[in-house]
């Protein structure tokens, strides 16, 4: 079978017990499993909160003798709020991308309809916003390292970088996934019958987004 997407879509036509596609059921099981993964990471971060024997600390000033010099609280709430906003908007773009694929067959007349109905645009936007979020994270990590916090510095550094790094890795995987869909879309155009594969990617993307809301609240906002 020369057409790769045809292989992907084949499953969708098989009647199943629940009427749902296998991949949809599997992605929900996967997301359930991922919840435990992030729950373990977040719990560890919270358990180790306040246990670091030296700075920098997330929300508190570290002064001598605990630290050699006075170290400011390291978390940059305004910047991270911005990146959180970017990730939230990316979920909106994802919704539009899925809607565009589902309605790919509808005729589009106005410019607005054409823009809203362009799955390529919204897939691209989602990936772009995801990449922007990763850019923010790269900036955050770099500035932390400059301020003296690495993954080896203290318990806070270890648990913070591992938690947010795991999340970043999930976003990266999501961006690659979106770009793969975009490539398929550009090659042959995604049709309503392809909605499922976009739907599954969207579920994953929204999940990663929701996890970030939890991280942002528990790590950044709550002192």
Partner 1 sequence: MATTAAAPPYIATHEPSRTGIWSWLTTVDHKRIGVLYLVTALSFFLIGGLEAEIIRAQLMHPNGTVVSADTFNQLFTMHGTTMIFLAIMPLSAAFFNFLVPLQIGARDVAFPRLNAFSYWVFLFGGIFINTSWLLGAAPDGGWFGYAPLTTMQFNPGLNIDFWVLGIQILGVSSLAAAFNFITTIINMRAPGMHLMRMPMFTWMAFIVQFLLILAFPVITIALVFLQFDRFFGTQFYELAAGADPLLWQHLFWIFGHPEVYILILPAFGLVSEVLPTFSGKPLFGYPVMVYSGMLIAFLGFGVWAHHMFAVGMGPIADSVFGVTTLLIGIPTGVKIFNWIFTMWGGNVRYTVACKFAIALVALFTIGGISGVMHASPPADLQQTDSYFIVAHFHYVLFGGSMMGIFAGIYYYFPKMTGRFLSEKIGNWHFWLTFIGMNLTFFPMHFSGLAGMPRRIYRYDAGQGFDVYNLISSYGAYLLGFATLLFVWNLIRSRKHGGVAGHNPWNAPSLEWSIPSPPPDYNFAQIPTVTSRYPLWDHKGNVREFHEGDAVKTARELGIPMPFPTIKPLFVALFLTLMFSGLLFIHKNNWPMAYTFMFGGAAGMVISLYSWLLSPLE
Site membership for partner 1, residue 34 (CB under 8 A): yes
Angle at which helix 119-146 crosses helix 155-188, to 10 degrees, equals: 160
Question: Of 48 and 116, which has the nearer Cβ to partner 1?
Answer: 48
DSSP three-state, residue 63: coil
Q: Site residues for partner 1, window 48-107 (CB under 8 A)?
A: 48, 51-53
Residue recorded with tokens 């929900």 = 28
| Binding range to partner 1, per CB under 8 A, among 36-44, 71-79, 110-118, 212-220 | 36-44
| Residue 67: DSSP 8-state | S
Q: How far is the CB of 179 from partner 1 (least distance, A)?
A: 12
Q: Site residues for partner 1, window 158-187 (CB under 8 A)?
A: 158-159, 161-162
Q: How far is the CB of 162 from partner 1 (least distance, A)?
A: 6
Site membership for partner 1, residue 189 (CB under 8 A): no
Give the integer Cα–Cα distance in Å for 172 and 114.
Answer: 29
- Applying CB under 8 A, among 107, 147, 155, 171 the residue interacting with partner 1 is 155
Residue recorded with tokens 């909106």 = 92
User: Which residues contact residue 219 at a Cβ distance below 8 angstroms, ignoring those fewer than 6 apart?
Assistant: 42, 45, 58, 75, 160, 163, 164
Site membership for partner 1, residue 40 (CB under 8 A): yes
Question: What are the b/e assignments for 164-190, b being 16+ CB within 10 Å?
Answer: bebbbebbeebbebbbebbebbeeeeb
Q: How far is the CB of 10 from partner 1 (least distance, A)?
A: 7
Site membership for partner 1, residue 193 (CB under 8 A): no
Answer whether 21's CB lies under 8 Å from 196's CB.
yes
Judged by the rule CB under 8 A, the positions of this chain that interact with partner 1 are: 1, 4, 6-8, 10-11, 14-18, 20, 22, 25-26, 29-30, 32-34, 36-37, 40-41, 44, 47-48, 51-53, 151-152, 154-155, 157-159, 161-162
């Amino acid at each position: 079978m020369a057409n790769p997407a045809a292989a992907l879509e084949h499953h969708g036509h098989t009647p199943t017990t629940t009427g749902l596609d296998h991949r949809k059921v599997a992605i929900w099981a996967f997301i359930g499993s991922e919840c435990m993964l992030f729950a373990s990471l977040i719990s560890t971060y919270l358990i180790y909160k306040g246990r670091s024997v030296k700075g920098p600390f997330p929300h508190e000033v570290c002064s001598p003798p605990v630290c050699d010099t006075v170290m400011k609280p390291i978390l940059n709430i305004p910047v991270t709020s911005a990146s959180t906003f970017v990730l939230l908007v990316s979920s909106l773009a994802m919704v539009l991308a899925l809607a565009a694929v589902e309605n790919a067959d509808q005729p589009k007349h106005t410019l607005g309809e054409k823009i809203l109905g362009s799955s390529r645009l919204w897939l691209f936007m989602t990936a772009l916003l995801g990449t922007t979020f990763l850019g923010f994270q790269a900036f955050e990590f770099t500035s932390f390292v400059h301020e003296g916090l690495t993954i080896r510095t203290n318990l806070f550094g270890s648990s913070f970088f591992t938690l947010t790094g795991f999340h970043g890795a999930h976003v990266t995987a999501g961006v690659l996934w979106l770009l793969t869909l975009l490539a398929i879309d550009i090659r042959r155009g995604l049709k309503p019958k392809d909605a499922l594969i976009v739907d599954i990617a969207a579920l994953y993307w929204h999940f990663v987004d929701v996890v970030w809301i939890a991280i942002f609240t528990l790590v950044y906002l709550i002192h």
